[in-house]
């Protein structure tokens, strides 16, 4: 089958269509400045397709090391993060070893689903925990990203009826820890030096007390 012909699991198609429709309804482009979309959104097009297909690039049968979706949500907001999954999926097919089926599957379970979970966790953090910069970095950036990726991986494996082997469980935990470490470190640096790069952060809100 040609690489551009989409032969997908119905659940992947339903999740992708529902998320994209919800993101478009939000019309996130209204908040963009005349200079265009955030640099982080454009940079994600280049980096995330490579990260999502690193196992195929290297010929190693292992889970991709990073998702990057939670960090993208923190930097651009959920609607733009979801919309970015479309060009990233296309780039993964045209420039990498993934076919359309794998690209859509990874765009859903490494992009859309963890991004949505990270957004939900971030909302819960803002609702139930103090509005403090330390809470934002640790609970929203570090813990939130790791939990989102772990939940997405576990849910994806359950829906695919994949065998719950010990190696697969360990791999998901290791991936979530790596995601948490990278996201937490980047968020910490941005809060300290470039808070304007985080769409989910405001000095007025988190440093007011």
What CATH number is associated with residue 133? 1.10.1760.20
1: in domain: no
Supply the pLDDT for residue 6: 40
Burial 168-204 (b: 16+ CB within 10 A, else e): eeeebeebbebbbebbbebbbebbeeeeebbbbbeee
* Three-state secondary-structure class, residue 137: helix
- The proportion of the chain whose per-residue pLDDT surpasses 90, expressed as a percent, equals 52
Count of Cβ atoms closer than 10 Å to residue 69 Cβ: 35
Mean pLDDT of 60-75: 84
Mean pLDDT of 4-16: 69
Cross-strand pairs, 85: none
Does the global pTM surpass 0.85? yes
Which of 140 and 64 is assigned the larger pLDDT?
140
**Residue 146: which pLDDT band, with cuts at 50, 70 and 90?**
very high
54: in domain: yes
- The proportion of the chain whose per-residue pLDDT surpasses 70, expressed as a percent, equals 88
170: in domain: yes
**Residue 122: which pLDDT band, with cuts at 50, 70 and 90?**
very high
> How many domains does the chain fold into?
1
Give the pair of three-digit tokens for residue 187: 């968020």
Residue 12 has pLDDT above 60, yes or no: yes
Which of 156 and 184 is assigned the larger pLDDT?
184
**Residue 50: which pLDDT band, with cuts at 50, 70 and 90?**
confident
C-alpha–C-alpha distance, residues 173 and 155, integer Å: 13
- Which residue range(s) make up the domain with 82? 10-206
3: in domain: no
Of 8-12, 75-79, 127-131, 144-148, give the lowest mean pLDDT range.
8-12
Supply the pLDDT for residue 59: 74
111: in domain: yes
Supply the pLDDT for residue 34: 65
134: in domain: yes
4: in domain: no
Residue 62 has pLDDT above 70, yes or no: no
Of 3-12, 81-90, 127-136, 195-204, give the lowest mean pLDDT range.
3-12
89: in domain: yes
Mean pLDDT value across the chain: 86
Mean pLDDT of 128-143: 94
Which of 201 and 55 is assigned the larger pLDDT?
201
């Amino acid at each position: 089958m040609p690489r551009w012909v989409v032969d997908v699991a119905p659940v992947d198609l339903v999740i992708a269509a529902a998320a994209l429709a919800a993101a478009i309804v939000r019309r996130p482009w209204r908040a963009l400045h005349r200079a265009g979309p955030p640099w982080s959104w454009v940079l994600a097009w280049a980096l995330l397709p490579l990260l999502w297909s690193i196992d195929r690039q290297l010929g190693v049968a292992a889970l991709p090391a990073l998702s990057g979706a939670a960090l993208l949500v923190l930097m651009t907001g959920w609607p733009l993060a979801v919309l970015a999954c479309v060009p990233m999926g296309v780039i993964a097919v045209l420039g990498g070893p993934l076919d359309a089926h794998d690209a859509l599957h990874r765009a859903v379970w490494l992009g859309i689903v963890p991004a949505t979970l990270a957004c939900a966790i971030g909302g819960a953090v803002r609702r139930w925990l103090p509005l403090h910069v330390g809470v934002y970095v640790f609970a929203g950036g570090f813990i939130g990203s790791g939990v989102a990726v772990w939940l997405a991986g576990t849910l994806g494996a359950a829906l695919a009826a994949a065998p719950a082997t010990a190696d697969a469980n360990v791999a998901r935990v290791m991936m979530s820890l790596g995601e948490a470490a990278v996201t937490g470190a980047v968020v910490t640096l941005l809060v300290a030096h470039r808070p304007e790069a985080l769409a989910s952060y405001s000095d007025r809100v988190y440093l007011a007390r």
